[in-house]
Amino acid sequence: MSDELARAEIEPSAETLLRAAAMQLLESQVYQAFLDAVASEHSMRMLAMKSATDNATDLIEDLTLAFNNARQAAITQELAEISAGVEAMK
């Protein structure tokens, strides 16, 4: 056998295979970076919405307390006026 026939030929060439593998690796890394960015954005939106919900809940609790205190003060004022009226009539 001649030297030419004994040598194994790889088709496509090793350079072509390496180039294709490198391109697939690069594409998958870019796609992974894109997916990470999208997941990060969703995570930040969820965190922002949770913070907004927590703040709204705190605000509602504070307003409820303020309204209840105002209502209680008005009732106490009315009772004091009624008691003063009763005392004045005696």
**What's the pLDDT tens digit per position in 30-70?**
999 999 999 999 999 999 999 999 999 999 999 999 999 99
Q: Which residue's structure tokens are 């026939």? A: 5
Paired tokens of 13: 């060439």
The whole model's pTM is what?
A: 0.59
Q: How far apart are CA 61 and CA 70, in angstroms?
A: 14
Q: What percent of the chain has pLDDT over 90?
A: 70
